[in-house]
Amino acid sequence: MALIITDECINCDVCEPECPNGAISQGEEIYEIDASRCTECVGHYDKPQCIEVCPVNCIVTNPDLPESKDQLLAKYHRLITGEGQAPQE
C-alpha cells in the first residue's frame, strides 16, 4: 500500500528529505505523499524511512490503495528506469 500522512502532521519537515522516491511534498496544510511515487521504500530500505523519522506517528498505510510487496517493487523499477513516463520535450 502507498502511505498517507494524516491530519496529525505537525509540518516538522523531517519526512520529505528522507523519501528516496521524492514522493513527499508540502501540501496546502500538511505534507502529502504522491501514491504514484511511494514504494514504502521497497527497493531502497527495509522499512519506510518517513515512518522511521516521524515524531508524531502520522504516516500510515493507505487502505484505499492496497499494493503487495511485488507491486511496490515493480513500481520501484518503473521509477528508477523511467518506464511508463511521458517523453521529455
User: Does 19 map to a domain?
Assistant: yes
CATH (domain of 61): 3.30.70.20
User: Does 87 map to a domain?
Assistant: no
d(CA 48, CA 77): 17
User: Does 89 map to a domain?
Assistant: no
User: Does 7 map to a domain?
Assistant: yes
Query: What are the Cα distances from residue 58, in Å, to 10, 13, 28, 72, 74?
Result: 9, 13, 17, 21, 26
Range(s) of the domain holding residue 38? 3-81
What is the pTM for the complete model shown? 0.87
If one counts the domains in the chain, the total is 1
d(CA 28, CA 40): 23
- For residue range 51-73, what is the model confidence (pLDDT) as tens digits? 999 999 999 999 999 999 999 99
- For residue range 1-43, what is the model confidence (pLDDT) as tens digits? 789 999 999 999 999 999 999 999 999 999 999 999 999 999 9
